[in-house]
Amino acid sequence: MAEILLDSDVIISWLRGKDRYTTIVPELLDRGNTLIWTPVSIAEIFAGARKSEENLIKNLFLLFETISISPEMGIKAGRYLNLYGKSHGMELGDALIAATASINRFPLWTLNKKHYPMRELDFFSP
């Protein structure tokens, strides 16, 4: 059993019924893994949601653990932006997710590793 931090792109792929993710996410939950999301992912998902999808998305609070963003994560995210903002086009949301993964030592499950150039991150691969 593991704790896995989900990037927004994984959650969106699952919600949209992408074949691979429709089976992997439930399997991970069935095996007792803890799937975690941040307020950043919550905001990104609600920003793109259709009115008809809101109840489905609200049910994710029953499946996923929510982790709050701390001042320490904010500081680390700011450092990431300073290091990678210009060179890699890193945005605040990705910096906060990366800082959350790094500080908590969560493997990050993302579909776009190039958004996360930090060497100290561990990535989850199903």
In three-state secondary structure terms, 48 is: coil
Ranges of the chain with pLDDT below 50:
none
Question: What does the pLDDT read at residue 16?
Answer: 85
Q: Is the dihedral of CA 16, 61, 6, 8 positive or negative?
A: positive
Return the CA Rg of the chain: 14
The ranges assigned to domains in the chain are: 3-115
Pick the CATH number of 3-115 from 3.30.1490.190, 3.40.50.1010, 3.90.380.10, 3.40.718.10: 3.40.50.1010
Global pTM value? 0.93
Distances (CA, A) of 51 to 3, 37, 48, 59: 30, 21, 10, 14
Q: Which residue has the tokens 């089976």?
A: 23
Percent of the chain exceeding pLDDT 90 equals 79
